[in-house]
Each structure stands twice: as structure tokens, then as C-alpha cells.
Amino acid sequence: MYTRGMDAKDLQIEKLTAEIKTLKETIERLQKQNISLQEKIARLEKNSNNSSKPPSSDIIKPVKALRRLGAKRRRGGQPGHRKFSRQPFSPQQVDKVVKYTLSKKQAEGLEPLDEWLVIQQVELPQKMYRVVEHRARRYRDPKTGRIIIAPLPAAVRQGGLAGPKLTALMAFLKSGCHCSFSTIQRYCREVLGLTLSRGMLSKIIQKAAQALKPPYKRLRDRLPQEPYLGADETGHHNNGKLHWTWCFQAPGYSVFHIDRSRGSKVLRKLLGRRFGGILNCDYFSAYRKYARLGGVRIQYCLAHLIREIRFLSEHPLRKLARWGRVLLQQMKKLFKTLHNQAATTPEQRFARLKRIEEDFLQQVRRPPDHKLARKLARRFRDERAEHYFRFVASPEVEPTNNATERALRAVVLDRRVTQGTRGDAGMRWCERAWTTIATCQKQNRNVLDYLHQTIRAYCDNQPAPVLC
């Protein structure tokens, strides 16, 4: 009986042991599956705040914090804001003055004052354009019968139907206002009272593109000599095929270039194989390859880095989130020091930034046991960390690439409205027009005035005015 009882107990123990082993394997499998699903959810929840994804990719905008009860502000100017009033037109700008006085009967017993209630009213002329007809007389040689025509000025022949001012206006509408040809047609017909075909508008825009070619080329040729450049790129569709719009930001001008490639060969073509300045960019592989092969000094964008760290700080794994929060706190200290420049001397600011840099590197080089943490830590091995903190020793360098990203917003708007281009001529027009507009805005120059001066010089076969 005892032996049989022990055998039954052993069998029961063996059965339970097998069940426990199976349950442990199931638990381990489910735990791994749970971690995998959590990481998948975290990746799916990436947005423009915690990754390099553009804001347009956010399906749902983050909920804004509600204002405290009763704190809703009214529309219009707020208390404490400085009031701005429009300045009246100067006497030289006034085309006509109309005076209103009382009749003799109404003014009887009143003393007229040399004071007036003035209302300046701006009105458009009845006809928005003028037509100049240029006639060249024909002559016949009675001996040979050959017809000779009196020569027309070069500006008239080169200009064609649209004069320099009208051409500049069409170019401004197409580029600066993101108008399609259909919109420009409607504007000309209903506002100007002028009918222009799409083919004629295309010829006018190409004339403006040819006029902008020399100043654009001069700026593009200057890029390799710049001590500091910001760079970024965004998509562009040409005839349904994906191209890339590259943007380069110098302190005094901007240059756009459309290319089929998003690779480092574009950088080598525009900046040379060994760019001598500092290139401010994101962590895209083309910039890393260009820096590695050419020994180029890089300032990687800290805004992109902060978004990646924020993603780690919001990760469901505690050890990863804790490490991300520590790194995020160091970044907050860094930018707080940068923003409080008035309260510190350059020497004090440099010392604080170096101390924050050392603390950050000490933390980032001790990652938790996770592939995302190890991947981030590899960026800061040895001298590679200098590519993130080069701005500390070079105050003229921005720690982020936000200026270049802001310059690309106009390109994205144009892309959404026009749906891209349909050939090489359209791409060349876009890069020249975007370069002109961005550069004029940097220099506080009137874009329409510059377009008019450039097109007039082109029609007169004169050198184009300098853009920068």
C-alpha cells in the first residue's frame, strides 16, 4: 500500500511539475509578446512631438490644456499690449485732395479754422493695366524688292506680350502666393480685366525663370565658401515621380535645389567633397555619410534629438523611460542656459554649457539594457559627441536646424497647392523662385520690386541685380 501510494504521489508530482514548466514557458512567451506589443504601440504612437515625423503626419492633434475657469480672454488687443495705429499717407503719396466746406448760409456767424477732419481713402484705378502698341514701319527696297523693318528696342522684343511689371506680378502670384495657373487666370480676368491663356502664363513664368537664373547660380556657387550652413530636404513630385527639394540656409541667403536623389552625392555636388564650414542638419544617413567621407564638421539638430529622447521617456518600459527622463532633464537645463544669455557673461555661459555637456555624456553613455537605448548611446561614442555640442565652442552656430525647417514650410504649402511640377523647366523655376523669395525675406527686401528689376534687366540684356 505504501509503495503504491508513493507511486501515485510521484506521478502527481511529475504531472504538476510538467504543468508548472508549461505555465512558465507560457508566461515567458506572453511576457515577451507583451513587451513586443508595448513597443509596437509606442512606435505607432510616435508623432511630431516625440520623433522626427512632420506635424502633417499627426492623425490626432494633442489635446491642449484647458484654461482655468473664468480665464478666457476676449478677442482683439490684450491689456498691456502696445497699441499700433496706421500712419497716414504723406502729402507726396496723396494723388488728389477733395475739400468739403459749409455753404455761406450754413457758415454764417462761424469762424473758419485752418483745421480739417481728414479721411484718407485708397481706391483702385478703373483700368488696372495699360497697353502700349509698338509699331515698326516696313520698307521695300525698289531695286531688290526686299522688305526692311525698322528695329524694335531689345526690351520690347524680349518682353513680348507682358511687360516687366506684369511679368513680375505673375511670377509673384505663382511663387510667393502659391497660386495655380487657374487661379492666376481668374485673378487676371476678374480683377485686372485681362484674359491670358494658360500657355501664355507658362511662357511668362519661364521668362521670369530665365531672368532669375544668373542670381540663383551666383548664390549656389557661394555655398562651398560659407563658414556655416543649415541643410534639410523634403519631398517633391515631378510628373508623379518622387524628387527631393534641398534647402541650404546661409546667414544672408537661402538656396533651394530640386534633385532626384536624397543621397550624399547631392551634398558633394553642391558643397564639394570637403566642405570647410559647419553643416547644421538632422541625423539623416546622407549627412552622416557626407561627414564621415569628407571629414566635415557637423552640428546635429538638438530639436530632433530631444524628440527622440522624449519618445524614450514616454516608453512603457520603466528602465527605459527613467533613463529618457534623466536625459530630457539635461536638455532642459542646456536650453534654459542658452535662453538666459542676458543674465550671464559669455565665459559663465560657456562653463555652464560644458558642465551640462559632460553630465549629459556621462548619462547617455550608460544606457539600460535595451536596443533603443544602446542605439542612441552609440551616437555619442568618442569624438562623435562633438557633432552634437559644436555650438558650445562656436556661438554663431545654432544648436537646432529649426530655421531651415521653417524655410521649407513655404515649399510644402506650394507642393500642396500645385501638386508638384511636370518637367525640368518647372523644377528650375521653383528652385529659383523659392530662393529669391526666401533670400529677399531674410534681407527685408520687397520681393515684387526685386522681380521687376531682374526681369527688366533681362529684357534690356543687362546684368541682373545682385541678390546677396
Q: What is the pLDDT of residues 160-196, one digit of tens each?
A: 999 999 999 999 999 999 999 999 999 999 999 999 9
Q: Is residue 359 part of a domain?
A: yes
What pLDDT, on the 0 to 100 scale, is given for residue 188? Answer: 95
Q: Is residue 361 part of a domain?
A: yes
Tell me the average pLDDT across 331-352. 89
Cα dihedral sign for 266, 270, 274, 275? negative
Per-residue pLDDT band for 27 (boundaries 50, 70, 90) equals confident
Q: Is residue 216 part of a domain?
A: no
Report the C-alpha gap between 210 and 171 in whole angstroms.
12
Does residue 159 surpass a pLDDT of 60?
A: yes
pLDDT tens column, 93-136: 999 999 999 999 999 999 999 999 999 999 999 899 999 999 99
Report the C-alpha gap between 248 and 442 in whole angstroms.
13
DSSP letter for 92, please: G
Which amino acid, 220? R
| Grid cell digits, residue 167 | 511679368
Length of the chain: 468
Contacts of residue 26, defined as CB under 8 A and 6 or more positions apart, other chains included, come to: none
Per-residue pLDDT band for 71 (boundaries 50, 70, 90) equals low
Please choose, from the candidates 357, 424, 366, 419, the residue with its C-alpha nearest in 3D space to the C-alpha of residue 388: 357
Q: Is residue 310 part of a domain?
A: yes
What pLDDT, on the 0 to 100 scale, is given for residue 439? Answer: 96
- H/E stretch holding 447: helix 447-459
For residue 336, give its domain range. 302-400
Whole-number CA gyration radius for the chain: 34
Report the C-alpha gap between 451 and 208 in whole angstroms.
8
Report the C-alpha gap between 341 and 111 in whole angstroms.
62
Q: Is residue 284 part of a domain?
A: no
Q: Is residue 390 part of a domain?
A: yes
| Grid cell digits, residue 168 | 513680375
What pLDDT, on the 0 to 100 scale, is given for residue 1? Answer: 46
Report the C-alpha gap between 347 and 327 in whole angstroms.
25
Q: Is residue 367 part of a domain?
A: yes
How does DSSP assign 289-353, residue by residue? HHHHHHT-EEEE-HHHHHHHHHHHHT-SSHHHHHHHHHHHHHHHHHHHHHHTGGGS-HHHHHHHH
Does residue 63 surpass a pLDDT of 60?
A: no
State the angle between helix axes of 424-442 and 447-459 in degrees (0 to 180), rounded to the nearest 10.
130
pLDDT tens column, 297-339: 999 999 999 999 999 999 888 999 999 999 999 999 999 999 8
What pLDDT, on the 0 to 100 scale, is given for residue 56? Answer: 54
Three-state SS string over 128-161 comes to: CCCCCCCCCCEEECCCCCCEEECCCCHHHHHHCC
Q: Tell me the average pLDDT of the chain.
A: 89
Please state the domain count of the chain.
1
Predicted model pTM:
0.82
Q: Is residue 251 part of a domain?
A: no
Per-residue pLDDT band for 62 (boundaries 50, 70, 90) equals low
Report the C-alpha gap between 244 and 254 in whole angstroms.
16
